[in-house]
Amino acid sequence: MRRPVTQVSGGEIGPPVIEFYRRLSRFLLVYKFAVEELMTKLRILSEEFDFVHRHDPIEHITSRVKRPEAIMEKMVRKGLEPDVDLIADGLDDVAGVRVICPFVSDVYRVAEMLGGQHDVTVLHSKDYIAKPKPNGYRSLHLIVRIPVFLSDRVEHVKVEVQLRTIAMDFWATLEHKLFYKYDDQVPADFADELASTAAIAAQLDARMQSLHQRLR
Query: Helix, strand or coil for residue 41?
Result: helix
In angstroms, the CA 146 to CA 140 distance is: 19
Are 197 and 171 in contact by the 8 Å Cβ rule? The answer is yes
DSSP 184: T
* Residue at 13: amino acid letter: I
Are 47 and 58 in contact by the 8 Å Cβ rule? The answer is no
Q: Hey, which residues are catalytic here?
A: 160
- Which residue, 30, 39, 165, is CA-closest to 114? 39
Please name the residue ranges forming H helices in 6-58: 15-53
The crossing angle, in degrees rounded to 10, of helices 190-215 and 104-115 is 80
Are 162 and 128 in contact by the 8 Å Cβ rule? The answer is no
